[in-house]
Amino acid sequence: MWSKFVERFYPSISKATIGFRNFAQSANTASTSTTTKILPNAVSPPHYTLVTIRTGSNLEPLRFQCVPTNLLFQPLRRDLLWSAVVYERDVQRVGASNPPSRSTNGYSRRKLYKQKGTGRARVGDANSPTRSTGGRALARRAPNDFSTELNSKTWNLAMRNAFSHKYREGRLYVLENNSTLEDKIIPRSIFITDNPDIEDRVSPSDLRVVDLLGARKVLIDLNALQTINKLTCK
């Protein structure tokens, strides 16, 4: 009823409304066609990447396996890696040092020289931190807590970034489950697995970003890789 009333008594308003609707529809169609012309072969980014599954003590290639790209295809983010390494190193600090402070250094609190008349600079007692044998300024008392805080999502992104970095460098080897590498453990290499029967292993729950970055070769079985993917998706 209202549309008929407007068309009958206000034809100019009706024509303007119809014209605006036609313009909006034509603009939407034009934007879609323009996007199609600019990127005619545009596709969505891949969700999976292929890794080589190896087996045996010689790391022989066995087959290919699809792995999510958010675990092994992340761009390098040095800021995330730096934040994660600093966080892990801070947590690792024991904080058991007890440097002598001004009050615990052991010297007398007597002033070494009088204030005026010596022609020398003013000095305090022998415990002053400005002297080589004095106490340390702002000395802490054990136990000291040097741990810092880091968002869990930031740490998860850093872990995925470290795996992607090792994968691009060709230093990540994905093994078949229940693989043994007694004769192939080399210095500065880590073997990540859930199997508790294997010695010199690293559990996925105990893995750190600094361990990945410092390793020359990263050996991980398929189950551990899937576990890390689940743990870092939070």
pLDDT (0 to 100) of residue 48: 87
Asked whether residue 228 is domain-assigned, the answer is yes
Range(s) of the domain holding residue 173:
48-93+147-233
> Phi, psi (5° rounding) for residue 12?
-65, -40
pLDDT (0 to 100) of residue 210: 94
12: confidence class by pLDDT, cuts 50, 70, 90: low
Tokens of 168: 């691009």
57 shares a domain with 118:
no
Instruction: Kindly compute the dihedral angle of the four CA atoms of residues 133, 134, 136, 141, in this order, to the nearest 10 degrees.
Output: 100
User: Is the alpha carbon torsion for 136, 137, 142, 143 positive or negative?
Assistant: negative
**If you count DSSP H runs as helices and E runs as strands, how many of each does the chain have, helices first?**
7, 5
The pLDDT tens digits of the residues spanning 167-205 come to 999 999 998 887 766 655 567 888 888 877 777 788 888
Determine how many CB atoms are found less than 10 A away from the CB of residue 131.
15
Domain at 202, CATH number: 3.40.1370.10
pLDDT at residue 32 is higher than 60: no
203 shares a domain with 101:
no
Contact 143, 96 (CB under 8 A): yes
- Which are the contacts of 191, defined by CB distance < 8 A and separation ≥ 6? 181, 185, 198, 200, 201, 202, 219, 220
The pLDDT tens digits of the residues spanning 107-140 come to 888 999 899 999 999 899 999 988 888 888 888 8
What's the total number of domains in the chain?
2
Instruction: Kindly compute the dihedral angle of the four CA atoms of residues 6, 10, 15, 16, in this order, to the nearest 10 degrees.
Output: -100
Q: What mean pLDDT, rounded, does the chain reach?
A: 81
% of the chain beyond a pLDDT of 70: 81
